[in-house]
Structure 1
């Protein structure tokens, strides 16, 4: 199969790489409609956390297409072509944020920046499950995630120019296709412990850890590639906690008391 059958612009890439990229940037779709999932019916002890945010910095995750006009295209839905963040990415980043809140940074500093000897807390295992390498007593996490489709008018482009340490000058600018600041999105997290199973941890502490981890990931750490450059940081504009018989809106800090009453301690 030739490049022409995948994308006609890739044929031009062989002769005029910069021209092909300029053509791609000037012919982008001008709007990306949002996707609003329906909320499922909840069982007793289940909670749904819905967090709406607005990006304060670019968001980027590299697409996995084998051929593309750009070297760093943003991750897109293969059906609609809209930039989105997969559910698996939310799970991995929130697990990391929860670990940071339970002592991971101190462990790395004391162990030469390695995970040697690290064990997840009971709350982290309850929420996210064991690592896949766990051979015995494997446990599925109580959390389920949905993808996030961003709502904005048009993708943006950012350039990072690495500098040579000796010459103090840029070497080769790198172009990134990004979701621009100002775009909005929604994180949906379902806390769904297995009915009839008594968890080996305090569920109240686990849910409070989840709320704290969500807030720190979105507003402090960022949930994008290039987080060390400040990408992926956002402002939370609305938070909703749903349970079987009702719901409450407010700041994440306001929802802590409600979550404590709904979940209680260990079952």
Structure 2
């Protein structure tokens, strides 16, 4: 037997008590809408929780292998961000919304899942211009094929929560040949341009593998900086990224925190203003 916590909090009117002339509206008006509203009410109680408990801190590096690096980037969306939550429905203006954004189950906040970050960053990494690109990608993200030495990736991803309210947006799909509407408008829940978020990424050079060399750490971090630049500024990290969704405004130096701090120069390619006097720290 399956017990639904949210459903248990909703008082559902018996179908026989419902106006039989409106049988088609029963499911939506008597079941789905009250359930969704109760769910939002309960989730709103969790929105005041400190989301930073989910993230690593500088002092955590003391317990990790030498060469570990923590990256925190505070960003502002240049283009909207959207994602598709297959298993949920959401209510906007008392109407069922068919394309809801992914939300955290605990806080109810719109979020970018760790797996989403990993997928989009790997997509960008595969487009970095580098001679030993495949080798570095396998070190960072883990090997994909069974033919290679199976290694767990050196990157650890964390969720990003948007504390601002999502908005409703409309897109109209166009035919590729005529650029005329292919079908009617599609309503989507998005985080609008100007929304802010925090990106956390942890680099841990372990397991090292049988061919490990210290110089790999420097190679990994420089490659990672290039991949981050492509993901944030060129390809984005959103569904609909071919339309430019999920790119960010140019970062300033104060938007990026790197620990240990002597590694920050490696990521200076992400700043709008470069400090050429900062050494790479490798």
Which interval holds the TM-score relative to the shorter structure? 0.7 to 0.9
**In structure 2, distance between residues paired with 1:13 and 1:101:** 57
With normalisation by structure 1, the TM-score equals 0.72
Q: Alignment partner for residue 167 of structure 2, among 127, 150, 156?
A: 156
- 1:231-258 CA distance string (max 9 Å, x none): 1111235111102x87759963258986
Q: Name the structure, 1 or 2, with higher relative contact order (CA <8 Å, separation 6+).
A: 1
**In structure 1, distance between residues paired with 2:117 and 2:103:** 15
Aligned position for 1:216: 230
Distance 1:101 1:211, change over 3 A: same
Alignment partner of 1:52 is 2:74? yes
Unaligned runs of 5+ in 1: 105-118, 263-267
Regions of 4+ moved over 4 Å: 4-9, 11-14, 16-21, 31-34, 164-167, 195-198, 245-251, 254-259
**In structure 1, distance between residues paired with 2:179 and 2:140:** 48
- Conserved? CA contact 2:222–2:267, under 8 Å: no
Query: Size of the alignment, in residue pairs?
Result: 239
Alpha-carbon RMSD across the aligned residues, in angstroms, is 4.1
Aligned position for 1:65: 87
**In structure 1, distance between residues paired with 2:103 and 2:68:** 31
Distance 1:121 1:250, change over 3 A: closer
With normalisation by structure 2, the TM-score equals 0.69
Which of the pair has more CA radius of gyration? 2
- 1:136-182 CA distance string (max 9 Å, x none): 41111111111111132x21111111245669346211000011111
Distance 1:135 1:251, change over 3 A: closer
**In structure 2, distance between residues paired with 1:256 and 1:121:** 29
- 1:72-112 CA distance string (max 9 Å, x none): 100001111111111111111111111111479xxxxxxxx
Distance 1:168 1:126, change over 3 A: closer
- Conserved? CA contact 1:240–1:250, under 8 Å: no
Spell out the pairing of 1:143-222 with structure 2 (5 A cutoff). 143-152=155-164, 154-163=165-174, 168-169=180-181, 171-194=183-206, 199=212, 202-222=216-236
- Conserved? CA contact 2:89–2:100, under 8 Å: no
Q: Which moved more, 1:34-43 or 1:206-215?
A: 34-43
Unaligned runs of 5+ in 2: 16-21, 91-95
Distance 1:203 1:168, change over 3 A: same
- Conserved? CA contact 1:50–1:239, under 8 Å: yes
Aligned position for 2:243: 229
- Conserved? CA contact 1:150–1:184, under 8 Å: yes
Q: Alignment partner for residue 268 of structure 2, among 241, 249, 252?
A: 252
Structure having the higher helix fraction is 2
Spell out the pairing of 1:23-34 with structure 2 (5 A cutoff). none
